[in-house]
Chain A
């Protein structure tokens, strides 16, 4: 490419003489007698270097230079000027000609100018390659980084999971040991205890797999026009028994002025169930056996939101450290009883609704989970 040159001059003699010496120097030479003709050839041949006279009838060399730089800025243009045309020479440099040579043309001066042009072309090409490489490099490294992050996330998930499963496996192993001793020694106490351990751990692994399945399911939000308070009644009838069993007062306080709006009742049901069962666990965890324990489910009409659910307990509460990590996957304070999946799914589903979930709590002073859902569209979003 660097070896193609377009020579433009209105004087035929110069075209001939210069053309020959350029060809001798190894260039493929195209010639044009005017600016207009030069542009036509230029568009077709894309020469790397253009050597043009400044003064020509019609389109002059400066105009040609400008047009060439506009069309292909990488083209190197060398201007041929007359002896007295210093102004034009300077002007052409301003328009980014690589060099100028004066008539009568000295072969050495021509060679220097040509070398300069070719050097610029080479440097530019190298620079472009280098830049492209850089971009490619950045692209590759970014891809690697994302992969690594993905792997790290998977690693964390697997580590969390394997911990949960290890705990359950431990429980099952312990249970079967106790059960075996019961059989060996014909000891009813061991039989019963071992059996309970096995059953309890079978429940745990069932719940774990259900939780995982729920989490893995893409959250397709199935918007339905629903009453936010109805969710609370459903949860109470589900959890009343368990709360009573542990001497916990399960209370509700519902805003009367809540309108039905579009949300996914099934997903939000799951979220509330998770929050309420956590609240009950927190009450059971509390050491103060004398304290009257209660869980309160509230609905509030918060401005700009469809509903604000609050789940308030006066159980064990949590410190700052726990509060920070509470929505993280596989983080649990419940020892082998928790998998750390519940709140992770709840947050995922609330996020899916473009809602907000927050927690306020102090160690020993209970906890308050706040879940706000946006009023959302008047109709099912898919239909809009």
Chain B
């Protein structure tokens, strides 16, 4: 598990620090980005095993855009994504479904979804599960 990278994308510094600390103390290397564009750049440069993505950066369109980019990029599409969001899970999934027919290719639902504020123990379990399934 050494040197495996997890990309943390959030426009709030507090949230980046918190999530980074969670993944670092689990033994991963955290890479952070404060917006979607930077997140894609960093993901292409150093392919992470997991992305933890904030949906509102600061608007839902920004987070969704980043998510679509990840899921439609050949090299990045396989990376599991945990969506972190202040909006309720139901609302978000509805939004994704409504969006897909309008905006280009069908986008799969994210591998995992967590409402903000994230609970450290829950987040750790989620990361462990996602990465255990991969290997």
Residues on A facing B (Cβ under 8 Å)? 163, 166-167, 169-171, 173-175, 177-178, 181, 185, 190, 193-194, 197, 200-201, 333-336
When C-beta atoms are compared, the residue in chain A nearest to B35 turns out to be: A287
Q: How far is the CB of A122 from chain B (nearest CB, A)?
A: 60
Segment with Cβ contacts to A, from B9-17, B91-99, B101-109, B127-135: B9-17
B118: A residues at CB distance < 8 A: 170, 174
| Tier of interface size on chain B | 10 to 19
How far is it, in angstroms, between the C-alpha of A197 and the C-alpha of B13 when the chains are bound? 9
Segment with Cβ contacts to A, from B18-26, B42-50, B67-75: B18-26
Q: Is the CB of B18 within 8 A of A335?
A: no
Pick the contact of A178: B12, B18, B117 (CB < 8 A).
B18
How far is it, in angstroms, between the C-alpha of A201 and the C-alpha of B11 when the chains are bound? 16
Pick the contact of B12: A166, A175, A336 (CB < 8 A).
A336
Pick the contact of B18: A169, A177, A334 (CB < 8 A).
A177
B17: A residues at CB distance < 8 A: 174, 178, 193-194, 197
List 29 A-B residue pairs with CB atoms under 8 Å apart, sorted by A's residue number: A163-B86, A167-B116, A167-B117, A170-B116, A171-B14, A171-B117, A173-B117, A173-B119, A173-B120, A174-B18, A175-B18, A177-B18, A177-B21, A177-B22, A178-B17, A178-B18, A181-B21, A181-B25, A190-B21, A194-B17, A194-B21, A197-B17, A200-B14, A201-B14, A334-B58, A335-B11, A335-B12, A335-B56, A336-B14
Pick the contact of A335: B21, B22, B25, B58 (CB < 8 A).
B58
| Residue interface mask B42-66, A partner, CB < 8 A = 1 | 0000000000000010100000000
How far is it, in angstroms, between the C-alpha of A194 and the C-alpha of B86 when the chains are bound? 21
Q: Is the CB of A177 within 8 A of B117?
A: no
Enumerate the 3 nearest inter-chain pairs by beta-carbon distance, A residue then B residue, closest first.
A170-B117, A174-B18, A178-B21
A181: B residues at CB distance < 8 A: 21, 25
How far is it, in angstroms, between the C-alpha of A333 and the C-alpha of B11 when the chains are bound? 12
Number of A-B residue pairs, CB cutoff 8 Å, is 50
When C-beta atoms are compared, the residue in chain B nearest to A336 turns out to be: B12
Once A167-B117, A169-B117, A335-B56 are accepted as A-B contacts, the answer to whether A174 and B15 lie under 8 Å apart by CB is yes
Q: How far is the CB of B122 from chain A (nearest CB, A)?
A: 12
A334: B residues at CB distance < 8 A: 58
Q: How far is the CB of A33 from chain B (nearest CB, A)?
A: 87
When C-beta atoms are compared, the residue in chain A nearest to B117 turns out to be: A170
Q: How far is the CB of A302 from chain B (nearest CB, A)?
A: 35
Q: Which of B72-88 contact A (CB under 8 A)?
A: 86
Q: How far is the CB of A204 from chain B (nearest CB, A)?
A: 10
When C-beta atoms are compared, the residue in chain A nearest to B10 turns out to be: A335
When C-beta atoms are compared, the residue in chain B nearest to A332 turns out to be: B58
Q: Is the CB of B18 within 8 A of A197?
A: yes
List 10 other contacts, CB 8 Å, given A181-B21, A335-B12: A167-B116, A173-B119, A174-B117, A174-B118, A175-B18, A177-B18, A185-B25, A193-B17, A197-B14, A335-B56
Q: How far is the CB of B33 from chain A (nearest CB, A)?
A: 14
How far is it, in angstroms, between the C-alpha of A207 and the C-alpha of B29 when the chains are bound? 35
When C-beta atoms are compared, the residue in chain A nearest to B59 turns out to be: A333
How far is it, in angstroms, between the C-alpha of A333 and the C-alpha of B119 when the chains are bound? 25
How far is it, in angstroms, between the C-alpha of A174 and the C-alpha of B118 when the chains are bound? 8
A336: B residues at CB distance < 8 A: 12, 14
Q: How far is the CB of B25 from chain A (nearest CB, A)?
A: 5
Q: How far is the CB of B87 from chain A (nearest CB, A)?
A: 11
